[in-house]
Amino acid sequence: MSLPATLPTALFVTGTDTEIGKTVASTALLHALRRRGLRAVGMKPVASGSHDAGQGLRNDDALALQAASLPVPDYADLNPYALRQPLAPELAAAEDGVRIELAPIVAAFERLRAQADVVVVEGVGGWLAPLSAQLDQLDLVRALRLPVVLVVGMRLGCVNHARLTAHALQASGVECLGWIGNHIDPSMQRQDENFATLQQRLPMPCWGRLPHLPHLPGADGEALSAYLHSDHR
């Protein structure tokens, strides 16, 4: 289990559900890429649940990505749509009177890509969570021409959720490079057996297995990046 030797210049991180550790996995990926000597920058195009930090709305997940990035990108490029309410993006945008559109996201992505070797783009919720009444995350992935990495939240039901998501990704015609297991439930029974089942059943390689960390969302991406290397014990 490790990152492949060669990676694309940008990738999209999706998950089996919301609150399963996409940000934890994304920050670990950013640090793993930086360990290779690459300029790695994160992006959270749409983020629900933002607060006013005195310089405009800020989202904790997006801030964690910004802190893990090098060079450090402008927040407005990293998170073009910061929405106040912790709701599905379509509902949160309606609350703010905002219409989520692809053009500002694509423009911000191009600015990030110009300053980095790799851009790690984190999605919102699970793969089929819509961005708006008109936009699915698939539309964003196609517009940015991104391959996908799937984060599997390791908890009861994860095998079903992971296989359903993998089937949806295949049906969408997008390339799924690999998956990362993230142990979000320390009380889950038969963790090793469930992980082994996922390794056997998912049609893409495993990039790593992250341990449970209670202090989300930022966690310690630098420490967790070791779990994405084959030499980790």
What's the CATH number where 197 sits? 3.40.50.300
Whether pTM > 0.75 for this model: the answer is: yes
Domain annotation covers residue 5: no
44 is catalytic: yes
**Residues 220, 233: Cα–Cα separation, whole Å:** 17
Domain annotation covers residue 233: no
DSSP for the chain? ----SS--SEEEEEESSSSSSHHHHHHHHHHHHHHTT--EEEE-SEEESEEE-SSSEEEHHHHHHHHH-BSPPPHHHH-SEEESSSS-HHHHHHHHT----HHHHHHHHHHHHHT-SEEEEE-SSSTT--SSSS--HHHHHHHHT--EEEEEEESTTHHHHHHHHHHHHHHHT--EEEEEEEE--TT-SSHHHHHHHHHHHSSS-EEEEEPP-SSTTT--HHHHGGGGSTT--
Q: How far is CA 152 from the centre of its chain?
A: 11
**Residues 14, 130: Cα–Cα separation, whole Å:** 12
- Specify the pairing of strand 148-154 against strand 176-183: parallel
pLDDT at 54: 87
C-beta neighbour count of 136 within 10 angstroms? 15
Per the structure, the count of domains in the chain is 1
Q: Which of 31, 44, 155, 209 is catalytic?
A: 44
pLDDT at 226: 82
Domain annotation covers residue 182: yes
Domain annotation covers residue 189: yes
Domain annotation covers residue 94: yes
Domain annotation covers residue 100: yes
pLDDT at 2: 78
Print the domain residue range for 122: 10-228
pLDDT tens string, the chain, 233 residues long: the values are 678 888 999 999 999 999 999 999 999 999 999 999 999 999 999 999 999 978 899 999 999 999 999 999 999 999 999 999 999 999 999 999 999 999 999 999 999 999 999 999 999 999 999 999 899 999 999 999 999 999 999 999 999 999 999 999 999 999 999 999 999 898 899 999 999 999 999 999 999 999 887 654 445 777 788 888 654 43
